[in-house]
Amino acid sequence: MKPLPLFGQAPAAPASGWPGLRLAFRPFYLLAALAAVVLMPLWWAVFTGRLAPVSGLGPVAWHGHEMLFGVVAAVVVGFVFTAGKTWTGLPTPRGVALGGFVLLWLAGRVASLLAPYPVFFLLDATFLPLVAVVFLRLLLRAGNRRNLVVAGLLALLGVANLAFHLAATGVLAWSPTQALHAGLGLLVLLETLMAGRVVPFFTRNVTPGLQNTVPAWRERLLGAATTLALLAWLADLGVAVPLLLVAAALHAWRLHSWRPGVTLTRPILWSLHLAYAWIPLGLALLALALVQGQPVSPALHAFAVGATGGLLIAMMTRTARGHTGRALAAGKTEALAYGLVALAAALRVALPLLAPAAYLSGMVAAGACFAAAFAIYLAVYARWLLTPRADGQDG
């Protein structure tokens, strides 16, 4: 089946309501970028003991949770609610309803630092299940079965977040870190699914004659191998290492098939290919860490910073441009932001492996690069996200 574009041309409609709440990408991209900037210095303050979350979460658990279920979740929700309108032809939350989702997400972020744990638990654990229910109902009303897997992954992210809270409060005999690992694994699966739909499609659209479609049997094999490999890792099964290596090889083969070399003059495309390349690297590093009995942190940051962070900022620029009526062409400023995220990932992954003595300084440098990338995004895109479309259409 030919992949569908994420966001097609919506029919012309009269603009209505405050622009900042017309489609979900607007407030959620804006707040996610702001959170990515603010959370880096806050993380250092928490890590060094200068700031302690009232919720009682430890530094690593707090940081991992807020990046995964705070920043990343906001972009995912902004993305699926916006794409859902095109996928189904039905309206998605806007105006007051969208504002309610935004306030609930924002309340969870504030509560993670300033509220007792029960308040944080209630606010934060409610957000993703509500999103999943609304999105699922939208798909069912439209008879859109193709994207039910996206709704399923959203729901599972909500379950992983709930598991985090139950583990943190001692209700579940699991560590909060394991729940974060499960959430990150689900994100890798979501990225595998969505990248497979859009990256070769976007590349093919601007490269006449390019043949970069991956056969359906290889896509199914890759999806199954990635799912089994991540499950084996999370369950600490002995077959995890060979499954991870097989999945890494299939992802590398997939990326090669997409012909990334043709994108080198187009930042809005090479950013997607570069970010995706961190998935096979992360799988291979995870297998290596398990073989050597070493910490898995470098592999996890390949997934979290390189793949997830890179795909976030790449899609946040592309979809924001398209849905504010602007050209789908990133300039030098966006290219700098893409490069800073990649540098943050390289520092966070390579230094612990190659120069352990520089771990702390590397962590600070990586955080600064990551925050700077999203500060650049805010400087360029904040005004566009809060003002009407350039072409006068609604959205």
Amino acid 16: pLDDT:
66
Cα–Cα distance for residue pair 19/335, rounded to 1 Å: 27
| pLDDT tens sequence across 94-140 | 999 999 999 999 999 999 999 999 999 999 999 999 999 999 999 99
- Segment 246-301, tens digit of pLDDT: 999 999 999 999 999 999 999 999 999 999 999 999 999 999 999 999 999 999 99
Q: Compute the Cα dihedral for 338, 276, 381, 324 and give only its sign.
A: positive
Please report the pLDDT score of residue 14 as a whole number: 56
Q: Helix, strand, coil shares of the chain as percentages rounded to 5?
A: 75, 0, 25
pTM: 0.93
Name residues whose C-beta falls within 8 Å of residue 393's C-beta, 6 or more positions apart in sequence: 10, 12, 13, 15, 325
| Distance from C-alpha of 77 to C-alpha of 275, rounded to nearest angstrom | 20
pLDDT band of residue 393 (cuts 50, 70, 90) is confident
Write out pLDDT tens, residues 206-261. Answer: 899 899 999 999 999 999 999 999 999 999 999 999 999 999 999 999 999 999 99
Residue 2, C-beta contacts closer than 8 angstroms, at least 6 positions apart: none
The tens digit of pLDDT for each residue in 167-189 reads: 999 999 889 999 999 999 999 99
- The per-residue pLDDT for 1 is 35
Tokens of 84: 């859902």
Residue 15: per-residue pLDDT: 61
Q: Is the predicted pLDDT of residue 395 greater than 80, yes or no?
A: no
Q: How high is the pLDDT of residue 3?
A: 39
Alpha-carbon span 385 to 381, nearest angstrom: 6
